[in-house]
Structure 1
Amino acid sequence: MATAFALLLSTSAMAQEPAAAPETPLTDAAQEARARALFQEVRCVVCQHESIADSPAGIAADMRRLVREEIAAGKTDAAVRQDLVRRWGDYILFRPPFRWSTLVLWLGPFALILGGAVLLWRRRPGAVMTAEPLSDEEERRLADLLTPETDRPDPDANRPHD
Structure 2
Amino acid sequence: MATEDEVKKALIVDARARNISHNVRCTECGSQSIEDSQADIAILLRKLIRDEIRAGKSDKEIYKKLEEDFGETVLYAPRFDYQTAALWLSPVIVGGAIAGVWAYQRHRQKTNVHIMALNLIRGVPLTPKEKQTMIEILTPPPPPRRRWWWS
Please give the TM-score of this superposition, normalised by the length of structure 1: 0.50
TM alignment of 1:109-124, pairs within 5 A: 110=91
RMSD over aligned CA atoms reads 3.2
Of 77, 87, 96 in structure 2, the residue corresponding to residue 95 of structure 1 is: 77
Of 30, 36, 39 in structure 1, the residue corresponding to residue 21 of structure 2 is: 39
TM alignment of 1:9-28, pairs within 5 A: 28=10
User: CA 1:63 to 1:97, structure 2 compared with 1: closer, same or farther past 3 Å?
Assistant: same
Number of residue pairs matched by the alignment: 96
Q: What is the SS of the residue equivalent to 1:42?
A: coil
Residues 1:126 and 2:108 aligned together: no
Q: What is the SS of the residue equivalent to 2:32?
A: coil
CA-CA distance at 1:106 after TM superposition: 3.7
Compare the two structures and name the one with the higher helix fraction: 2
TM alignment of 1:135-154, pairs within 5 A: none
Matching residue's letter, 2:145: G
Of 61, 64, 67 in structure 1, the residue corresponding to residue 43 of structure 2 is: 61
Identity %, equivalent residues: 37
Q: In structure 1, how many angstroms separate the alpha carbons of the residues matched to 2:87 and 2:39?
A: 25
Matching residue's letter, 1:126: R
**Deviation >4 Å, runs of 4+:** none
> Which runs of no fewer than 5 residues in structure 2 stay unpaired?
1-7, 103-143
> Which runs of no fewer than 5 residues in structure 1 stay unpaired?
1-25, 130-162
User: CA 1:128 to 1:80, structure 2 compared with 1: closer, same or farther past 3 Å?
Assistant: closer
Q: In structure 2, how many angstroms separate the alpha carbons of the residues matched to 1:58 and 1:105?
A: 33
User: CA 1:44 to 1:104, structure 2 compared with 1: closer, same or farther past 3 Å?
Assistant: farther
